Amino acid sequence: MTNTTTSTYTVTGMTCQHCVASVTEEVSDIAGVTDVAVDLTSGAVTVTSSGPIAEDAVRAAVDEAGYALA
């Protein structure tokens, strides 16, 4: 059995599918991340990883995409 971690964050500023793609791409680049699901309507970003991911890493990736964690 694999030990996966799932965390959900709220991202502000996303308005379209391009925003979703940008956030997904940047967060997916974090070491250990295995899946990223973005809900544009709510701003929820669910990150599945092979272990705990530092919130600072997620914040930096979202910032790199041009958005912010709420």
**CATH code for the domain of 23:** 3.30.70.100
Q: Coil, helix or strand for 3? A: coil
Q: Which amino acid does the sequence have at 50? A: S
2 backbone dihedrals φ, ψ, rounded to 5°: -85, 150
pLDDT in tens, 13-61: 999 999 999 999 999 999 999 999 999 999 999 999 999 999 999 999 9
Query: What is the extent of the structural domain holding 16?
Result: 5-69
Report whether pLDDT(1) > 60. no
Task: Give the pLDDT of residue 3.
Answer: 83
How many domains does one find in the chain?
A: 1
pTM: 0.93
Alpha-carbon distance of 54 to 13, in angstroms, equals 22
Cβ 60 vs Cβ 50: under 8 Å: no
**Measured between alpha carbons, how far is 65 from 70 in angstroms, rounded to an integer?**
14
